[in-house]
Amino acid sequence: MIGEELLHHRNSILFILISVFYFIQVTINIFIEGLASIFPPAFLFIVFVIILILLIHKKVNPKLTMYVLVCSMYLYFYFLLKDSPYLVNYLFMWLALPLSAIYQNSRVVVISGIASIILTFYSFFYLHCEIFPNVGSEDFVYLILYGVFTTAFLLIFIHKLREANVKLQELAYRDPLTGSANRLLLKVKFDLLKEAKVHSIALFFIDMNGFKRINDTYGHEVGDQLLERTVSRINGVVRDTDILCRLGGDEFVILLSNIDKQILASLSERIHATLNKPMIMDDQKIKVSASIGWAYTIEVSHADLENLIKEADRAMYKVKGNKLIASESLDHMKD
């Protein structure tokens, strides 16, 4: 799934950042105290690294790996401060809080903020002489306020970032005129259905008849309104799990899953009936109609989106051709 893949990617990034940070911290400690100063915390870090490499490499529950990564950071800092109680190590500990924000997960940031404050409490009251020899006890509140404000800032930042991501996704995955899915989102949803191993996939291809004539007669603004109304009408018929996509112009497709083949004919008739109703726009009654074709498969693992679209498109043109022949026959009989 997309969410799990993204989470796995962020786990990998955080692991790399932690490793880089660790080697910087070790280098500083060796420079200050010598090589012996990095042990025994180095042994603990090696254990954490082995566990994390296995979790990330095997892609074991990315969400669980995320929490293990964050908890491992703070466990390591606890043992580091206990073994080497220096101000530089305490300052390094605070870097774990912004690092945790890489997940854009409010819960993780809150957990990291609480863990940072707990380690601040431990460092200030149990390692005071080593880390804060010239700091009065009354200054403890400022360290806590720093942790609270940093956590609050990161939470606000994540909230704003999520809002921006939603807007960007709307631009990337939605048709700007009708708000329906575009071809990119259609492909994403199709791949998700294949990964979910649904038992069937169906695809409707819908073409609005005479749309160019409506555009030429009433103007492009009315044509745009017609497309918006078309999307609204189709959404009123299909299920919430179905994906309506505008391919371009007056062509639409509907992606459906876990549906019996016998239902498709009746669903096609319902969509056809709702799209054949006249539309009132700018006090004008406009007659509209649609041609619909569909494709269906239960061989989901071997299904190809483009092939399904082509198959449904051919079926739609067959329906459109039959309508044209019937219309011409009717006109001939009238003559």
Which CATH number does the domain housing residue 199 bear? 3.30.70.270
Domain with 140 in it: 2-173
The pLDDT score that the predictor gives to residue 323 is: 58
CB 286 within 8 A of CB 226: yes
* Rounded-to-5 percentages of helix, strand, coil across the chain: 70, 10, 15
Question: Tens of pLDDT along 135-178?
Answer: 998 999 999 999 999 999 999 999 999 999 888 888 899 999 99
The answer to whether residues 155 and 7 belong to one domain is yes
The pLDDT score that the predictor gives to residue 161 is: 93
Indicate whether 111 belongs to any domain.
Answer: yes
The pLDDT score that the predictor gives to residue 322 is: 65
For residue 9, the one-letter residue type is H
Residue 213 tokens, joined: 């004539």
Residue 166 tokens, joined: 């939603």
Cα–Cα distance measured from residue 288 to residue 10, given in angstroms and rounded to the nearest whole number: 49
Instruction: List 136's β-bridge partners, or say none.
Output: none
Cα–Cα distance measured from residue 257 to residue 198, given in angstroms and rounded to the nearest whole number: 7
The answer to whether residues 169 and 48 belong to one domain is yes
Instruction: Write down the pTM of the prediction.
Output: 0.68
Angle between helices 220-235 and 211-218 (to 10 degrees): 140
Instruction: List 248's β-bridge partners, or say none.
Output: 251
Mark whether 331 is an active-site residue. Answer: no
Indicate whether 178 belongs to any domain.
Answer: no
The answer to whether residues 35 and 149 belong to one domain is yes
Cα–Cα distance measured from residue 99 to residue 70, given in angstroms and rounded to the nearest whole number: 9
The answer to whether residues 19 and 159 belong to one domain is yes
The answer to whether residues 199 and 247 belong to one domain is yes
The pLDDT score that the predictor gives to residue 335 is: 47
The pLDDT score that the predictor gives to residue 42 is: 76
Domain C-terminal end among 173, 202, 236: 173
The answer to whether residues 33 and 153 belong to one domain is yes
CB 76 within 8 A of CB 41: yes
Indicate whether 163 belongs to any domain.
Answer: yes
The answer to whether residues 21 and 104 belong to one domain is yes
Instruction: List 294's β-bridge partners, or say none.
Output: 204
Cα–Cα distance measured from residue 188 to residue 64, given in angstroms and rounded to the nearest whole number: 25
Question: Which position has the token pair 């609005």?
Answer: 208
The number of distinct structural domains making up the chain is: 2
Point out the catalytic residue in the list 175, 207, 250, 313.
250
Residues of the chain with pLDDT under 70: 1-2, 41, 322-335
CB 102 within 8 A of CB 64: no
The answer to whether residues 156 and 247 belong to one domain is no
Cα–Cα distance measured from residue 185 to residue 244, given in angstroms and rounded to the nearest whole number: 10
Indicate whether 292 belongs to any domain.
Answer: yes
The answer to whether residues 260 and 301 belong to one domain is yes
Cα–Cα distance measured from residue 120 to residue 118, given in angstroms and rounded to the nearest whole number: 5
